[in-house]
Chains A and B, each alone.
Chain A
Amino acid sequence: MKTTSLFISALLLCTTTFLHAQEPQQSLSYIGISVGPSIATGDFSKTETGTFGKWNNQSGFAKTAYAINVEGAWYFLPQFGLTGSVAFSDHGSLNASDVTKLGDSFTDAFGVDNSTVNSKNRYRSLNVMAGPTIAIPVHKFIFEIRGMAGIVQSLSTPRISVQLEDGDPFYQNSSTATAFAWQAGAGMRYPICKKLQLSLRADYVQSSDLSISNSNRVNNAGRYVTKQPMSWINTMIGVAYTL
């Protein structure tokens, strides 16, 4: 909530000075905050469980949710600099359709009369990235391209419990593991007052496999997730404060 309050305050401040804005600030270095939809992609977003003997252990059932990004860039050359970001990403939780698919798959996989699947928790992660950036000023606009690498620190992933008939349940645990990640993207900034710029950007983020632990899994059968690849696209709108 602190970040959103800061965001709103900055916008309000900017509107009061907008009419008095001068020529765009030529300094390219900035710090900023942005928010927007975060769209899960690839295996991370898939909802297929697979078929008997060919279970899909990569599908993440992740959703389009949102990301909040605090970022900045320091241009030590006219158009070339270093950029960094700290982002909180949310990619939702499993819905009714997802747990139905999982339940059907476990019923089939273990040949039981029924299985009960419960899922709770969301995909939430904190991503810390840094890398080079290039800025291309065109009139009032500043177009940027950047590539970054860093880590994804998972804050939670869905915890899935599976009970076969009336047996003891087994679990796919929520993960708080860390994984390597990289991202690449492009965006633009536009001055809306003396020190503030409106920013729009899109970034593709991909992590290495996130480690997932399981509990009480006695026999190898059915979908068995031990690693979860993650990827998503952030489409962000925000404000940048030029330095």
Chain B
Amino acid sequence: MSETASMDIHARLVECGMEAKHAQIVMDLATHPPSKASEVGKRIGISRMDAYNSLRKMQDMGLIKATLDKPMRFLGIKIEEVFDLLIRKSEMDLRRMQEHLDEMKSDAHLALLSHDNEHQEPNFTVLKDRHAIMANLQSILSEAEESVWMMLGHWGIFHLRRSVAFEAMVEAVNRGVVVKISTSLNDKTVKFFDDLDTRIEVRHHEDFSMQGVYVDDEVGLQFINVEKTPTGRGKNDSALLIESKDFLAAQLELMAIQWGAGTSYRAAKARLTEGKIIEPLRLNLGEGSYYERLRTSLERSVDGSISTPNAFLRRSGEPVPVQDNPQAAALSMLGIDLNDVLGGVGIRIGQELANKWGSVESDEQFWTYLTEEWRELGMGEIVMKGMPPESVVVHNGGACGGKPTVGGMFCHLDEGVLQGIMMVRHKVDVLSKERVCTSDGTDSCHFEIQCKTEQIDSAL
């Protein structure tokens, strides 16, 4: 038996309620011939007397056998038999407990001994050991009536799927309970979420580490300590079981805000598995009252004698378009700067490009790929200073198609692309931008972005 397998079985025995020392003895005798107490003690590192006492205790429980010779030698039983014994013992214990409960329920005198602890005061309980925590979770999920808000951090889905609470959650969904899950998705957990019932809504949050659940507005369970190893047994996990309407109301309010800022599961998965960014692009379109701007522009229009066009411009009988970009002009009248809009779109494209080549470890190689693609797309010649770049200059980008007064906003798109790349690849933002344009009378154009040297805090 390999050491890993041995440790795994030992962990499972402990998880089933066996003392760690007894589990060690089970493992030892399973792999050795009949042994004296002193030999067992020596092998597992305990005193002869300690070994003897433990062996006799285990013998009484039927977990090991002993020979009749002197000195007595002890021999193990098959490990699967040990598990069978533990299960049978637990079943007997359960039956006995059920009988006691039934008798107490039917006996009025026994019932009088219990103080009625049903009250509305806020209360909490500290739970230890993931098994105990999950058993409680199963219990509160079974009683869910309207909504369940689960927080599964980075690895919580592992624990949930392996626990009795998972079925309780599925049953809650089938009862019509609305179940929402907040998590921090990663490439190892995606498949578990893929398997979930489609009625369960999942949202992704960067660096979300909370684990717990809020059921209706009555009871919450929050993990305080979770083993760092995702596949661990959670022996040292601890959690608070809280019953407080005020607490739940406050927590649910926070969760609603968090939920709103989250990314849909579909978008988060696309980013993880395909390197695509598909969530809606959120842009800031400037401050101020758009209603006031609309009113202003309409007032000027309806007051016909002041500002309504009343003349056609023609050449050879054909109308001459005098405004190359009426849409841009209209947006400008409403205070929306298309340069900012395209800059924001460019950032998004840059982030996606950086994700696409995220697997390229070398920054030099990354920029070589980018420079080549940039050139192939006819977007100009990239020249960089430093690595990570302190500045990036693009010569003759020609984004405006030779008409800077009309197409100058596309220059902002290209700048945004580089900015997005810098943010994702190097975790730095852009410090300043400089632009030399043919509209200023120069023969060629270029723009330069200066990058910050300090990394930005949050990963994108």
The judgment on whether A and B are partners is: no
Chain A residues within 8 Å of B, Cβ to Cβ? none
